[in-house]
Structure 1
Amino acid sequence: MSEAVKKVCVIGAGVMGAGIAAQVANAGVPVLLLDIVPKDATDRDAVAKGAVAKMLKTEPAPFMSAAAARLVETGNIDDHLDRVAECDWIVEAIVERLDIKQALYARLEQLKRPGTAVSSNTSTIPLGHLVEGRSEQFRRDFLITHFFNPPRYMRLVEIVRGEHTDVAVAEKVEAFVDRFTGKRIVRAKDTPGFIANRIGTYWLAVAVNAALDQGLTVEEADQIGGRPMGVPKTGIFGLIDLVGIDLMPLLSKSLSATLPAGDPYFATVRDLPLVDRMIAEGYTGRKGKGGFYRLDKRPDGSRAKLAIDLASGDYRPEQKPAALPPAAEKDLAALVTVPGKVGDYAWTILGQVLSYAAMLVGEAADDVVAIDDAMKLGYNWKFGPFELIDRLGPGKLAERLRAEGRAVPAILETAGERSFYRVEGGVRQFLGRDGAYHNVPRAEGVLLLEDVKRRSAPVATSASAALWDVGDGVLCLEFTAKMNALDGEVAALIEQAVALVPGRFKALVIYNEGSNFSAGANLGLALFAVKAGAWGEVEKLVAAGQRAFKALKYAPFPVVSAPSGLALGGGCEVLLHSDAVQAHAESYVGLVECGVGLVPGWGGHGELLDRLAKLPTMPKGPMPAVMKAFELISTAQVSKSAAQAKEMGFLRASDGVTMNRDRLLADAKARALALVDGYQPPEPPVYRLPGESGRVGIAGAVADFHRKRVATDYDVVVAGRLAEVLTGGEADLVDVVSEEQLLALERAAFLESARDERTHARVESMLMTGKPLRN
């Protein structure tokens, strides 16, 4: 049904409205963005235009490409509201005031086409209140679509249907939100705060109050209430700094005005003079002068991290708390029983927040899956509340609540000693309110490797990779090392896969469900070999990688790579050797080896040159593609989206982009199967490269950057090695350079770089600090 949404109107060009408009445009769908006419303005569309201009300068970027920004038309609600008749979905994202929203709806009711969906991005106002006084048709066309900020990057959308909402209208919007804006939908009930913000606001209030009451430092609170509970590395106070301290009183006021009497949230509401003072003085978090943490500039230009003293309100140097007991790091049951402040604080958070989440099953959501998904996707929790309860033990949680004289939520009574999740017959199931287990639902067309792995054994494995049968004759290669780093084990399994597919399978998909597709070669392993003087092993690794990647390229069957997150260095080279790429929209692609003093070693030079030369915008001749490749590789440029990776040349124009991460494997599998009939591997390329004259030109540009101190001394050396490969070594303009010759040049340049102690220093810095060394 998503085809029916061909144009969207977003009313309200604030942070949320503009961000929603940008994400719709990122999907290639035209958007009309409207806002008020500013007072005394010469340009009546200035508010909406200004929002687009601001987004083009914002980091992280709301737009995935400059082309997406051009799909946003701007206007104002006085002159252009009648244009909602052109649109198939109208998103209202204006100020959270019921009277202003209702006045807008009254106007929309007269202008929109029947069947055109209208949704509000409200996070606090019940749907029933919003549609009071509206016609029956308007009520049928209305629902709530609550996006999370920033709309491009947060994967959650809570959708609330009203009692009058037309199912077909809701399904049309849900299909578009899923497939085009790339969100996982959680259906919430029409209750205050819906799911994520209701639990999330309560969680933060409980955690802040307990830290103050129990005399913890912000660092201690973030340590205890952070990673052991699967909370993002920011921890409690770091997260509040990230979202904005000034939002705390606003959310508190909103929920206090709408929650039913007796809700446990009211027990958390109190005056917080420290927070009031911080807001008044501009310490609103990362968007302000600082927050619970702040960076203080030293006289030498470096920065020191400070933390606020919760008792005095004064800033002091950040203090690293004492390490938690090892068992408490991973075992929640151990964490809450640690004597003293660690166990007390952990139990205060978990006891109150998990029981509150359990209380909301049936009230805010139909089942535990919706609540878990809302918190994982909306607040980046690693585990949802009921997954945490399983780790703590449902029976133990209920027992401790009873012992303290506190109410035990009905769903905990239903569970008894049983877990909320189990795997039965290879299928993950959840415990329902009826006391029975039900299959965890998957949206139609979603294929997840985690589900495949529950019901089957791998076809083959190595220490760093695995092969899985994902059905319909498609084999999937999964990287499994830390950061999905690539090594000799991966290369060996690639060659095994190439031998396995013919006769047993039709195609190969390279995919995994880690946060990143691959951060590149295993630098730690390579550095260890170099330090040990095991040059033979380093040479074997480079040769094995080249052999394996070329085996992918020339395999007698289609190979489709499906990246998400980082695809750097060797990870990028995997994409470059694939017949097609089906990339998640949030794919960040680049050949970054020069940052650590190396050059690409697994065939990346030739494959990138080939792609760049075929770009319709690339001027003819040997030098333009070489210069562009040199620019991309020498400066370690990384795309900020799959769309930008196409513009840069890392992906082909014909490569696919999947907006919803959950649909990536299914899309890649379909792409691979579509290539099977009549498949022929590519012919080996030949290159006409500029030789010595090209190297002279590149050297001149690098020297200029060195004089301007943009390039360091060692940058000049690395650039020279890179230029040697890209220009064809001893080749002349009239010579043809074969793929094998280019691979030989690449191996030589890589090994020369690997022997250089300045490279070792760069690699060590990257492994220790995550930052490149400028030597």
Structure 2
Amino acid sequence: MEIRSAAVIGAGVMGSGIAAHIANAGIPVFLLDIVPQDVKDGRGNDRSVVARTAIDRMLKTEPAPFMHKRNARLVTPGNIEDDLEKLAGVDWIVEAVVENPAVKADLYARLDAVRKPGSIVSSNTSTIPLKNLVEGRGDGFARDFMITHFFNPPRYMRLLEVVAGPDTRPGAVEALSRFADTRLGKGVVRCKDRPGFIANRIGTYWIQAAINQAMDLGLTVEEADAVVGRPMGIPKTGVFGLVDLVGLDLMPYVSRSLLNTLPADDPYRAIHREPELFTRMIAEGYTGRKGKGGFYRLNKSGGGRVKEAIDLATGQYRPSEKASLESVGAAKQGLRALVEHPDRGGIYARRVLVDLLAYAASLVPEIADDMTAVDQAMRLGYNWRFGPFELIDQLGADWLAGALRDEGKPVPALLEKAAGKGFYRTEGGRLEFLTVDGSYAEVARPEGVLLLSDIKRGSKPIKRNGSAALWDIGDGVACLEFTGKMNALDGDVMALIQKAIGMIGDGKGEWKALVVHNEGDNFSVGVNLGLALFAVNIALWPQVEQSVQEGQETYKALKYAPFPVVAAPSGMALGGGCEILLHCDAVQAHAETYMGLVEVGVGVIPGWGGCKEMLTRATLNRKRPGGPMPPIAQVFETISLAKVAKSADEARDLMFLRPTDGITMNRDRLLADAKAKALELAENYVPPEPATLRLPGPTARAALRMAVDGFHQQGKATDHDVVVSGALAEVLSGGDTDITAEMDEDRLLELERESFMKLVRSRATVARIEHMLTTGKPLRN
């Protein structure tokens, strides 16, 4: 079956977020909740006010549940008293109501009376076993029922845990899994019907163990988070910051639900604690970011903004201090260096990891058929860079087993089977994992998934230098990968692009097309600012101008190459990273791609053809007549305000993407989709024709500067904003041209280069660059 319509029952934060993300997939969805008592009592007339309010709230929420505000039109509010019959035609019904078995049972009976035969019903429960949910229901309901456990917020968290019962139709599981994968962009992990499933079973143990050991060892919250955060491949929130994020008041609820269902001998029971300090914090409203603060808070008394942290021993707040533990620095040498360091950070890391990893190893195959599901669940559900079994391989399976024996603790059977070898290996260029019977099996990828990491594991690059690499991804398609820090762009990247263009040639030989893609957290944050600042500080002006011109010429060569170039970005594509997208024949973007020309933040303008490409797009693609000013003003506003699209869908509005560019919901499918597009374009490919524009010159420049002066007088633009915007106006208006003259791309590039070089010589621009490198934030000077 194919899912073409859906409904979500329960308009709380989770249910409404699920509905929003279904709408992000282009699927119409009903969002239903109860009729409030005051409406029943005649004190209101909107019987669907709960759902309607939830939709309104999401339109104002940041980070936004909707990838584009217009997606809200696909969500129809309603209530379970008047609108259940409307669900007779939907293909998938998601229950996300209160975690009360009686409430759910009553709802299921009502749904079963109206739903169409074969429609899927799923629960978003994270605490109630599936066998309890279907108890007393008919066989038909049980065949169509499963658990689909989303993680909050549903748009951004990639994990979807799917639990099927013994009677659930395989076809239903397959249809929903395929929809969640391709349309919702989820990493679908099949779990067994066990308490907490996978991610929360292990995640809750990790949080409890990390908190216990921090308190026992007398660590500060900053020290604990510094150790169990980035050194372990865990988000920088660490453990106390994570609890602040999700809410301290949620922890007792999760703990109780697990304790009610866990086996009597589960190790979590032995470490579970509810410290008096935490109980008092909850009672006083210190539940984290949603409350008055948590383990961290922002003290605004006296007009200031001082970040404070709680003292775990006294319960009093104090100014937050950066952790200074030698073990955190030692972690740069590897995880083993961290856990073997003698300071209290190293002792803390060892205690947490030894118990956590042993617990994870003991749960397979109880909670999942193999360990790859556990690793995937923790990567996607908790944003860990490495799953538990990948962490064991970093420490060494023998090391972990030895540590457990030294402490008189049992060694899990699966860990014993990894002795002398580990959980993952590469064999014949293929990634393999250790199965529960002790043999190895290949890590299977779903059909339609192509990962650059798999290609790199089984081959060597065609060409490589310090900042980029070129890979053969099959069928005559090459892939250009950025490899520098944060995938920043520099001369090495430009050099390899030029080599790739020469290697592919006319696209008629061994090579047909080029894809620009990488699997980093971000596609590219733009030019390497550190190198740029070094050159500016020692006044290497000829070299700076040469690098600008080199970037312009490289991107132009890419645009007019005799073969198709398709970019496949994900994460941030900013500055020069956005400019390369503008020069490609097509873009296949991950839905969560954040694009923008943000150069004004460091006191310059886009210098690698970004101004030229945006102006060309706006001028040639305008839908209404009205002279040259509307497109110029549109581009001026986008670049001068450093607008960033917060989704690929929004990027179309800002013209960073064309209407014809593609969007892939699942990041794992991005490279395959881009390759398919490149091969499609390669058939009878013809490069684009160079564009010429007619620009108004000084009159347009004066109009743009007048607008900026108005903002300056209102205090909305700084002194240097005026200077930078003036340089941008010079480029977009065409310099000293007039409307009767044709201007080609080379002249626009020349104007870009001239304006860029004037700005980069300014001390105010240098101050902006230095501030960005130091703080990561723009300077308002």
Same fold per superposition (TM over 0.5)? yes
> Following the alignment from structure 2 to structure 1, what is the Cα–Cα distance between the partners of residues 605 and 338?
46
State whether residues 618 and 624 of structure 1, in contact with CA within 8 Å, keep that contact through their aligned partners in structure 2.
Answer: no
Alignment of 1:305-454 (within 5 A): 305-325=307-327, 326-454=329-457
> Following the alignment from structure 2 to structure 1, what is the Cα–Cα distance between the partners of residues 750 and 345?
58
Quick check: 219-228 or 384-393, which moved more? 219-228
Q: Secondary structure of 1:235's match?
A: coil
**C-alpha displacement of 1:273:** 1.0
State whether residues 611 and 650 of structure 1, in contact with CA within 8 Å, keep that contact through their aligned partners in structure 2.
Answer: no
513, 516, 523: which one aligns with 1:510:
516
95, 99, 103: which one aligns with 2:98:
95
Q: Secondary structure of 2:239's match?
A: helix
Q: Secondary structure of 1:228's match?
A: helix
> Following the alignment from structure 2 to structure 1, what is the Cα–Cα distance between the partners of residues 71 and 672?
25
Residue 457 (structure 1) aligns with: 460
Scaled by the length of structure 1, the TM-score of the pair is: 0.98
1:133 has 2:139 as partner? no
Quick check: 339-348 or 165-174, which moved more? 339-348
Note closer, same or farther for the CA distance 1:328–1:729 as it changes in structure 2 (3 Å cut). closer
1:79 has 2:82 as partner? yes
> Following the alignment from structure 1 to structure 2, what is the Cα–Cα distance between the partners of residues 343 and 737?
64
**C-alpha displacement of 1:616:** 5.3
231, 236, 239: which one aligns with 1:233:
236
**C-alpha displacement of 1:136:** 1.1
1:530 has 2:536 as partner? yes
State whether residues 591 and 664 of structure 2, in contact with CA within 8 Å, keep that contact through their aligned partners in structure 1.
Answer: yes
Quick check: 473-482 or 320-329, which moved more? 320-329
> Following the alignment from structure 1 to structure 2, what is the Cα–Cα distance between the partners of residues 439 and 236?
33
> Following the alignment from structure 2 to structure 1, what is the Cα–Cα distance between the partners of residues 571 and 738?
40
Residue 224 (structure 1) aligns with: 227
Note closer, same or farther for the CA distance 1:18–1:309 as it changes in structure 2 (3 Å cut). same
Letter in 2 for 1:124: T
> Following the alignment from structure 1 to structure 2, what is the Cα–Cα distance between the partners of residues 773 and 343?
38
> Following the alignment from structure 2 to structure 1, what is the Cα–Cα distance between the partners of residues 415 and 618?
59
**C-alpha displacement of 1:229:** 1.6
Kindly provide the CA deviation profile for residues 161-196 of structure 1, in whole angstroms up to 9, marking residues without a partner as x.
110110111110000000011011111100010000
> Following the alignment from structure 2 to structure 1, what is the Cα–Cα distance between the partners of residues 132 and 120?
18
Letter in 2 for 1:108: L
Kindly provide the CA deviation profile for residues 598-649 of structure 1, in whole angstroms up to 9, marking residues without a partner as x.
0111111121112223445555421111000000000101001000000111
**C-alpha displacement of 1:342:** 2.5
Kindly provide the CA deviation profile for residues 237-275 of structure 1, in whole angstroms up to 9, marking residues without a partner as x.
111111111111111111011111111111122231111
1:274 has 2:274 as partner? no
Kindly provide the CA deviation profile for residues 112-145 of structure 1, in whole angstroms up to 9, marking residues without a partner as x.
1111111111111111111111111111111111
Kindly provide the CA deviation profile for residues 90-120 of structure 1, in whole angstroms up to 9, marking residues without a partner as x.
1111111111111111111111111111111
Quick check: 198-207 or 335-344, which moved more? 335-344
> Following the alignment from structure 1 to structure 2, what is the Cα–Cα distance between the partners of residues 82 and 419?
54
18, 28, 38: which one aligns with 2:36:
38
> Following the alignment from structure 2 to structure 1, what is the Cα–Cα distance between the partners of residues 346 and 777?
36
Letter in 1 for 2:636: F
264, 282, 306: which one aligns with 1:304:
306
Residue 61 (structure 2) aligns with: 58
Q: Secondary structure of 2:59's match?
A: helix
> Following the alignment from structure 2 to structure 1, what is the Cα–Cα distance between the partners of residues 497 and 332?
36
**C-alpha displacement of 1:215:** 1.6
**C-alpha displacement of 1:330:** 3.9
Note closer, same or farther for the CA distance 1:614–1:106 as it changes in structure 2 (3 Å cut). farther
Kindly provide the CA deviation profile for residues 32-83 of structure 1, in whole angstroms up to 9, marking residues without a partner as x.
1111111222101111111110000000000010121111111111111111
Q: Secondary structure of 2:78's match?
A: strand
> Following the alignment from structure 1 to structure 2, what is the Cα–Cα distance between the partners of residues 513 and 406?
39
1:117 has 2:120 as partner? yes
1:698 has 2:704 as partner? yes
Q: Secondary structure of 1:583's match?
A: strand
> Following the alignment from structure 1 to structure 2, what is the Cα–Cα distance between the partners of residues 654 and 9?
30
> Following the alignment from structure 2 to structure 1, what is the Cα–Cα distance between the partners of residues 343 and 295?
24
Residue 245 (structure 2) aligns with: 242
Residue 611 (structure 2) aligns with: 605
Q: Secondary structure of 2:166's match?
A: coil
Residue 12 (structure 2) aligns with: 14
| Count of aligned positions | 772
> Following the alignment from structure 1 to structure 2, what is the Cα–Cα distance between the partners of residues 344 and 768?
32
> Following the alignment from structure 1 to structure 2, what is the Cα–Cα distance between the partners of residues 619 and 12?
47
Q: Secondary structure of 2:682's match?
A: coil
476, 481, 485: which one aligns with 2:484:
481
Identity %: 61
Quick check: 127-136 or 397-406, which moved more? 397-406
1:680 has 2:686 as partner? yes
27, 30, 52: which one aligns with 1:29:
27
Residue 42 (structure 2) aligns with: none
Kindly provide the CA deviation profile for residues 184-241 of structure 1, in whole angstroms up to 9, marking residues without a partner as x.
1111100010000011011101111121222221112112222222211111111111
State whether residues 594 and 645 of structure 2, in contact with CA within 8 Å, keep that contact through their aligned partners in structure 1.
Answer: yes
Letter in 1 for 2:349: A
**C-alpha displacement of 1:426:** 0.7
Letter in 1 for 2:300: K
> Following the alignment from structure 2 to structure 1, what is the Cα–Cα distance between the partners of residues 95 and 412?
36
> Following the alignment from structure 1 to structure 2, what is the Cα–Cα distance between the partners of residues 588 and 619?
31
1:767 has 2:773 as partner? yes
**C-alpha displacement of 1:504:** 2.2
1:469 has 2:477 as partner? no
**C-alpha displacement of 1:338:** 2.4
**C-alpha displacement of 1:335:** 2.4
Letter in 1 for 2:323: P
State whether residues 595 and 651 of structure 2, in contact with CA within 8 Å, keep that contact through their aligned partners in structure 1.
Answer: yes
Scaled by the length of structure 2, the TM-score of the pair is: 0.97
Q: Secondary structure of 1:467's match?
A: strand
Letter in 1 for 2:308: L
Kindly provide the CA deviation profile for residues 430-480 of structure 1, in whole angstroms up to 9, marking residues without a partner as x.
101110011112111100000000111111112111111101111111111
Residue 636 (structure 1) aligns with: 642
Alignment of 1:186-225 (within 5 A): 186-225=189-228
**C-alpha displacement of 1:354:** 0.7
**C-alpha displacement of 1:339:** 2.5
Q: Secondary structure of 2:522's match?
A: coil
Q: Secondary structure of 1:601's match?
A: coil
State whether residues 618 and 625 of structure 1, in contact with CA within 8 Å, keep that contact through their aligned partners in structure 2.
Answer: no
State whether residues 208 and 273 of structure 2, in contact with CA within 8 Å, keep that contact through their aligned partners in structure 1.
Answer: no
State whether residues 223 and 325 of structure 2, in contact with CA within 8 Å, keep that contact through their aligned partners in structure 1.
Answer: no
State whether residues 326 and 343 of structure 2, in contact with CA within 8 Å, keep that contact through their aligned partners in structure 1.
Answer: no
Residue 740 (structure 1) aligns with: 746
Note closer, same or farther for the CA distance 1:527–1:298 as it changes in structure 2 (3 Å cut). farther
120, 143, 150: which one aligns with 1:147:
150
Letter in 1 for 2:523: F
**C-alpha displacement of 1:289:** 1.1
> Following the alignment from structure 1 to structure 2, what is the Cα–Cα distance between the partners of residues 136 and 589?
49
> Following the alignment from structure 2 to structure 1, what is the Cα–Cα distance between the partners of residues 440 and 575?
45
Kindly provide the CA deviation profile for residues 680-724 of structure 1, in whole angstroms up to 9, marking residues without a partner as x.
111111111121111111111101100111000010011110000
State whether residues 612 and 618 of structure 1, in contact with CA within 8 Å, keep that contact through their aligned partners in structure 2.
Answer: no
> Following the alignment from structure 1 to structure 2, what is the Cα–Cα distance between the partners of residues 89 and 271?
39
